[in-house]
Amino acid sequence: MDFDFAALLLALTVLTGVVWAIDRLFFHRRRLERAAARGETPREPVLVDYARSFFPVILAVLVFRSFIAEPFRIPSGSMMPTLLVGDFILVNKFAYGLRLPAFNTKILATGEPHRGDVIVFRYPPDPSQDYIKRVIGLPGDEVTVREDKVFINGKPIIQDPIGPYAGGDAESRMLERAGAVVRIEHLDGVDHRIIAIPGLGESRDGTWRVPQNCYFAMGDNRDNSLDSRFWGCVPEQNLVGKAFLIWFSWKGVDHGIDFGRIGTVVK
C-alpha cells in the first residue's frame, strides 16, 4: 500500500488546528470562568492539550516540507555516478512553483526546469512513486539518442571520455565487469559525469519530440535507467522539485556512513 506522508501531515494539521480553534472559540473562556468561580486551576481536556501542543509543530513541518525543502533517499543506481544508492538528498520545493500539499496544485509560479537540472517528480505511469532523473530535453526540443550519445535539435552534446568506471559496492563491480566507462557530459553549461556501457545502448536509441509543458529526463547511468526513453516525458504538473544537496549517505551495515559525500552539492 502506498503511503502519502504529505496527505497525512495535512490531515493532522487540519485536525489539530480545528480542535484547538473550536476550543478557543467556544469552550476556553467558559472553562476559565468556572475554574475561577470555584477557586481552581483551569485544566484543558487531554485532546485539546495535545492539539494545542502538536499543531504548531506539525504545521511547521508541513510548511517546510511542502514549500521549502523535502528529504528523499536514493533507492537505485540509475543516477550513478552523481547519486549513489543510500544517498539522502534535499530537494528545493520552490524551484518550479509552490504547490498545495497532497493536492499538488500550483499556486505560485517561481521558475521552470533548465537543461541539466536534477529533478524529482511523480513517476508518470504511477504518480504514487517519486523518481529522480536529469532534464535533457525542454518543451519543443527534438531529442535523439544513439549509443548513449545525445543530440538536441540535431546538435550533439559533447561527451569527454574519462576512463573505466570503478567503485566499491556490488552494483559498481557489476558495472566494472560489463566494461562501463565514465564520461563528462557538457549540457548547456552543466558539466556532469555519466556512466555508459559501450555497445549496450543501441537498444535504447530513438528520436523523441518533447511536447509543451513536458520534459525529457534521463538517468546519468545511461544503460541502467528507466526514463523518458521508455515511458515518455515528465509532465509539468508532476514536478516535485530540484535536487541540490546530499545531506547524508548510508552505505549499509558493512560500510556505514560515507562522510565524504555529506554536504556534496548535486550538479
Report pTM: 0.89
Report the mean per-residue pLDDT for the chain. Answer: 92
**Better pLDDT: 187 or 2:** 187
Lowest mean pLDDT among 45-54, 123-132, 253-262: 253-262
Per-residue pLDDT at 46: 94
Q: Which pLDDT band, with edges at 50, 70 and 90, does 1 fall under?
A: very low
Amino acid (one-letter) located at 117 = D
The answer as to CATH 2.40.70.10 being correct for domain 75-265 is no
**Better pLDDT: 48 or 2:** 48
Mean pLDDT in residue range 75-98 = 95
Chain segment 221-238, per-residue pLDDT in tens: 999 999 999 999 999 999
What residue spans define the domains of the chain? Answer: 5-67, 75-265
Per-residue pLDDT at 104: 86
What is the spatial distance between Cα 34 and Cα 14, in angstroms, rounded to a whole number? 29
Q: What amino acid positions are annotated as catalytic residues?
A: 78, 133
Mean pLDDT in residue range 118-135 = 96
Q: Which pLDDT band, with edges at 50, 70 and 90, does 134 fall under?
A: very high
Which residue carries 522539485 as its cell?
241
